Structure 1
Amino acid sequence: MLRDAVNNDVEIVQNAHNCLVYSDPLSAHGLTWRQLVRWWRADRMPSADERTAADALYRHLYRSLDSLPEQTVLHTYCARYAEPAGFELPALIPQVYLHYDPYTRKSGAHSGSLYRQRMDFLLLPPDRSRIVIEVDGAHHYGTKNKPDTKGRSTYTASPELYSEMVAEDRRLRLADYEIYRFGGWELTRPNGSQIISDFFTELLARHKKPTP
């Protein structure tokens, strides 16, 4: 669990060996892939060139994901880094812990504590918005039943779990986060990668660097 992950004032309170802590100051215009690679390179691979370090960082982030839909999101988005000026795109950060956000505390409207601790993905684009992307498997809205005679697992829809999920979304939106949800099922379809690609094309166009 981390505290104040967005503002780079980070305190690791458990599972430190599994956490990457970005220690460079965040710019006024978000966090790009190049900035993240530069930090990784200085911290882990000082003798590597940028492309080699970028590949190693991508592989490290990919290994943090254990579901095919989440892997599809990361792989599809990160393919954009290979395009011209792709390293200047916002970095897509998986498995981000946002337990405490001082932006919220400073606003005076809320305490600063965020109910949900881990986000599937976070983007910090150049317009200074904060975008959370969630990939929902059946366990987000259903309770698991006992396996059937063939060992297959099924889920029963749970109004309680669904209510908890949407309540958390409301809290995050009130804390100025922009949230987008995908059903895990849609990302396992043959057109799953295209769905993700089209989504990010529209999202990045909407969150460009503000014109002075």
Structure 2
Amino acid sequence: MHWDPKTLRERGVHAMQNLRMDFLMLLPGNRRVVLEVDGMQHYIRNEGTEPDSMKYAATMADDRDLKFGGYEVFRFSHDELRDRAQPLLAGFFDTLLDHPPITPP
């Protein structure tokens, strides 16, 4: 999801303008859950030939910004979802919905 100019006007100057989320779930009680699916582009460079710690660091910084903004963030790797998405996500959602929200520090 992208924050567009209309949303920016509604949210004010502190809106997260450059943030893109894979999935945003708005649950009862103003609970905001972000699901991210990370492929190799989050941690490699040179067409997959070497790790890129700066890309990984940027991803973690985005996580922190979301968490400080009151979002719960859960990351999945592309590889773990590729072959077993249905059972993995069924278990995840059961656990998510049975637990209270994670409160930011």
Q: Which runs of 5+ in 1 are unaligned?
A: 4-9, 13-98, 106-110, 146-153
SS at match of 2:28: coil
Shift of 1:135: 0.1
**Which amino acid is the alignment partner of residue 140 of structure 1?**
H
Structure 1: distance between partners of 2:96 and 2:10: 23
SS at match of 1:131: strand
The answer to whether 1:2 aligns with 2:3 is yes
Shift of 1:129: 1.1
Structure 1: distance between partners of 2:93 and 2:86: 11
Cα gap change, 1:198 to 1:142, in 2 (>3 Å): same
User: Could you give the per-residue CA deviations for residues 163-204 of structure 1, whole angstroms, max 9, x where no partner exists?
Assistant: 111011111111111100000000112x33201110011112
User: Could you give the per-residue CA deviations for residues 50-101 of structure 1, whole angstroms, max 9, x where no partner exists?
Assistant: xxxxxxxxxxxxxxxxxxxxxxxxxxxxxxxxxxxxxxxxxxxxxxxxx688
The answer to whether 1:179 aligns with 2:81 is no
User: Could you give the per-residue CA deviations for residues 127-184 of structure 1, whole angstroms, max 9, x where no partner exists?
Assistant: 2111100000000111142xxxxxxxx3421000001110111111111111000000
Q: Which runs of 5+ in 2 are unaligned?
A: none
Q: 1:163 pairs with 47, 57, 60, which one?
A: 57
Structure 2: distance between partners of 1:126 and 1:192: 25
Q: What corresponds to 2:88 in structure 1?
A: 195
Cα gap change, 1:101 to 1:207, in 2 (>3 Å): farther
List 4+ stretches of structure 1 deviating above 4 A.
Answer: none
Q: CA RMSD in A?
A: 2.6
Map 1:1-212 onto structure 2 (within 5 A): 1-3=2-4, 11=6, 102=11, 112-114=14-16, 116-145=18-47, 154-189=48-83, 191-206=84-99
The structure that is strand-richer by fraction is: 2
Instruction: Provide TM-score, normalisation by structure 2.
Output: 0.79
SS at match of 2:21: strand
SS at match of 2:22: strand
Structure 1: distance between partners of 2:10 and 2:49: 34
User: Could you give the per-residue CA deviations for residues 9-50 of structure 1, whole angstroms, max 9, x where no partner exists?
Assistant: x727xxxxxxxxxxxxxxxxxxxxxxxxxxxxxxxxxxxxxx
Q: Could you say which structure has the larger radius of gyration?
A: 1
Q: What corresponds to 1:74 in structure 2?
A: none
